[in-house]
Amino acid sequence: MYIYRLRRRPETCKSRLQRAKYKWLLPFFALEWVWDWLSYLLGNWAFLEVIEYLGTFSILFGVILYFAESGDRDKQKHYQAWQVINTAQGKGGSGGRKEALQELAADHIDLVGVDVSDAFLQGVRLSEANLARANLRSADVRVGVFERADLEYADLTSANIRGGSLAKANLQYAVFTDGDLNGCNLSEADCEDADFSRVDLRNCELKNLKWKGIKDLKLANVSGVKDAPEGFIAWAMQHGAVAIESDAEWQAAIEKEQGK
């Protein structure tokens, strides 16, 4: 930063040259005298001081403007994220949707009714996201994290959430028919009126699962579930669930039932 100070008038050229002990130093002393005069003249020019102050104010104005427009930048960022999601609607692959969804969720933007059916979103992290009435039919969201997310009325028919986490999620009225939840964490999830018919629930963590209002468990596979709430297994078997370790045997049971 430029600091203004009053500069002393340089000595005469003759006085400066007389200070040289050797003749070969005279050109250097003369050049130094020229620079001293140039510095003196410019240093006392008020215009340069004004220019410096204007530069400082422009930086300050830029900082203020940056923060003032932060809301508009966020809106633009969210608009672009929604464009990515909507443009790829109904298509396979990711198409940038995984990152777009995570970005919107991180900024607490509602994802109500979002359509990401058939999308490849493996490892997506949407904890606490509002995904009510979302369409995730046949989506690949293996090891996806939906902890404390709102999936009320969401359609997850044939979705693959193997190894994922739905801990403490709101799954009321959600449809998981034919889905793969093998190894999922469903601890404390609210399953009021949820449809788990023909769902692979093998090896799921069910600690404190809110299960008493489940709508359908017919042919759901509960083999190897962990920390199941008291009475859940017996109730599930009474309502058509099965406990079959083999994929082939379970598929045969489904085909047999559907062939009736």
CA–CA separation, 211 vs 236, rounded Å?
9
- CATH superfamily, region 98-260: E3 ubiquitin-protein ligase SopA (2.160.20.80)
> For 5-49, what is each residue's pLDDT tens digit?
556 777 776 776 677 677 777 777 777 777 776 776 666 665 556
Place of tokens 């023909």: 198
Q: Which residue is it, tokens 């693959």?
A: 160
DSSP state, 227? S
Q: Are 219 and 202 in contact (CB under 8 A)?
A: no
**Mean pLDDT score, 234-250:** 95
Which bin fits 75, alpha (ψ -120 to 50), beta or left (φ > 0)? Answer: alpha
Of 63-67, 78-82, 189-193, 239-243, the one with minimum mean pLDDT is 63-67
**What was the pLDDT predicted at 119?**
95
Q: 119-160 pLDDT, tens per residue?
A: 999 999 999 999 999 999 999 999 999 999 999 999 999 999
- CA-nearest of 245, 248, 213, 206 to 229 is 206
The residues spanned by each domain of the chain are 13-68, 98-260
pLDDT of residue 39: 72
Which pLDDT belongs to residue 157?
98
Q: Tell me what pLDDT residue 258 has.
A: 81
